[in-house]
Amino acid sequence: MKFLVLFLLVLSISARISGGDRITGRSFATRSEVYAVHGMAATSHPLATEAALEILRAGGSAVDAAIAANACLGLMEPTGNGIGGDLFAIVWDAKEKKLHGFNGSGRSPRSLSLEKLREEVKALGKKEIPPHGTLPISVPGCVDGWVQLHERFGSLTLDQVLAPAIRHAREGFPVTELIAHYWQISARVLGEQPGFRETFTTDGKAPGVGELWKNPNLASTLSEIAANGRSGFYEHRVAEQIASFIQKHGGYITVEDLASHRGEWIDPVSTSYRGVEVWQLPPNGQGIAVLELLNIMEGYPVKQWGFGSADLLHHFIEAKKLVFEDRARDYADMDFHDVPMERLISKEHGNQMRDKIDAAKAMKRIDTGRPQTERGDTVYLSVADSAGNMVSLIQSNYRGIGSGVCPTGLGFGLQDRGELFCLEDGHANVYAPGKRPFHTIIPGFVTRAGEPWLSFGVMGGATQPQAQVWVLMNIIDFGMNLQEAGDAPRVVHVGSSQPTGSIMEDGGEVALESGFLPAVIEELRKRGHRIGSRKGLFGGYQAVMKDAEKGVWVGASESRKDGHAAGY
């Protein structure tokens, strides 16, 4: 009888996974993929997606549309991004038939030394750089990123591109459900930070679901950027207001730091996985963790194990632990640290890492290091246009609305990405003046036979490389469509990097979304994994795929967020 009950349970769940409840696909898929001929946009807010389509219909490029959507998200989803944060992008140029990478991360203040920062941290009674206030603020790289991307790949004028966001900021927009939830949390956590209440609340209260929210100060700031480009942000009134406000409240960013900032065009790097080429940006971000993970997983019979199996989950979790050891040791600003990138993303290194994994037992301790990056709030978006250009873009303040510091009258908050510096001499990511901190945000891209195939990403701190690999296995190994691959239950391992010390204790913790078999979870426990219950760790996915055979774009959007994919 026990065997019969277990058999029926497995049969029932297997039927659901293979499409038992859903007419055209797997039961966990929340909706169908989106198809269109001329262009496609996938973002985490419906009005941002519509802004991208508005720009595409007006003759704008994929880059124009991506900037328009990002500007709207900074207004509508300030809990994840904004012009006080940083930006990374991978662009497929259809004319050149080439990928271009852009690193838009800002640097630390040049007037703040490591010794002085240590003194400031100690005076606060802390051992690490705090997440809030002026100390973790690094130069915002977003606007410079917009301008450089637009100069190279834009078709419309910058004022046309920013017009939808400016219009929504002045007229107001209704706040969506999930964003309202995080906005209210931010108000509780950041309410006492300089300028926060005036910028993001009404008499201390965050907007609720469906409430109309206006931000005329942000509209004015965006208008200055639209009229004057990068000088409208990094020089003159806006720059002076940012620097003076930070310094007034004990920080170190100067107008010279702002004026001297420039993001960098960089070559993406790649590895192959079962016949496709997966592309990421090199450090100071964590993108190469995706490539390392894929190199390990490629040597396993992933398809044979099956989606959601104990073998798949166990080996994936163990591979992640090893990759994050490399991440903690070597992922840093390459101007300050000699990152052994070619070795790390090589197949040989993947083979060596795979040999360290015990198929029956979870690793409990691994020498690692900083940074601790389990949580992070970000937006990811993807856009494609009728000419065949594709953009994979990610933008963030790091923790929610970032530092919580909001310069008077400008309508946005400043990031706290500098929190991810460490204070240990000799560490790859030790703080230094004019240095870019370790970054979590990573855009992804996949080519097939040298042609563009998939522009995708999954926002969410340390979740990002894990979830990107999970999505790719879903598509490539398990044959899921673009929407199913994102909707499928996810696994996230947390605890590889500790805030103090340099070891993973007790194997960390495995967070599983609902949908995995109880017998699988029990088997993971038997192999030594600690199964925890954590919400909000599973990220936010967007994707656009090119179906060259049919001549159409395919879009998918994260069911765990408020947005959608749409085309024209």
The residues that are catalytic are 378
Concatenating the DSSP letter of every residue in 165-198 gives HHHHHHH-EEPPHHHHHHHHHHHHHHTTSTTHHH
Q: Which residues pair with 553 in a beta bridge?
A: 36, 546
Residue 567 · residue 36 · CB < 8 Å: yes
CA distances from 91 to 94, 228, 334, 456, 473 (A): 9, 24, 22, 12, 23
Q: Which position has the token pair 């499409």?
A: 19
Who contacts 102 (Cβ-Cβ below 8 Å, separation ≥6)? 87, 88, 89, 90, 91, 145, 148, 149, 263, 264, 265, 266
Euclidean distance between CA atoms 73 and 46, whole angstroms: 10
- Residue 243 dihedral angles phi and psi, to the nearest 5°: -65, -45
- Residue 379 dihedral angles phi and psi, to the nearest 5°: -125, 140
Q: Which helix (H) or strand (E) holds 40?
A: strand 40-43
Neighbouring C-beta atoms of residue 260, cutoff 10 Å = 13
Concatenating the DSSP letter of every residue in 330-386 gives H-S-TTTS---HHHHTSHHHHHHHHHT--TT------B--PPP-S--EEEEEEEE-T
Euclidean distance between CA atoms 466 and 322, whole angstroms: 12
Residue 460 · residue 399 · CB < 8 Å: no
Neighbouring C-beta atoms of residue 395, cutoff 10 Å = 31
* Side chain identity, residue 308: G
Q: Reduce the secondary structure of 253-265 to three states and give it as a string.
A: CCHHHHHCCCCEE
Neighbouring C-beta atoms of residue 514, cutoff 10 Å = 6
Q: Are strands 377-384 and 276-280 parallel, antiparallel or unpaired?
A: unpaired
| Paired tokens of 537 | 């760790």
Q: What is the DSSP letter of 426?
A: T
Euclidean distance between CA atoms 290 and 92, whole angstroms: 19
- Residue 217 dihedral angles phi and psi, to the nearest 5°: -65, -40
Q: What is the DSSP letter of 497?
A: S
Instruction: Using DSSP, state whether 316 is helix, strand or coil.
Output: helix
| Paired tokens of 176 | 């969506």
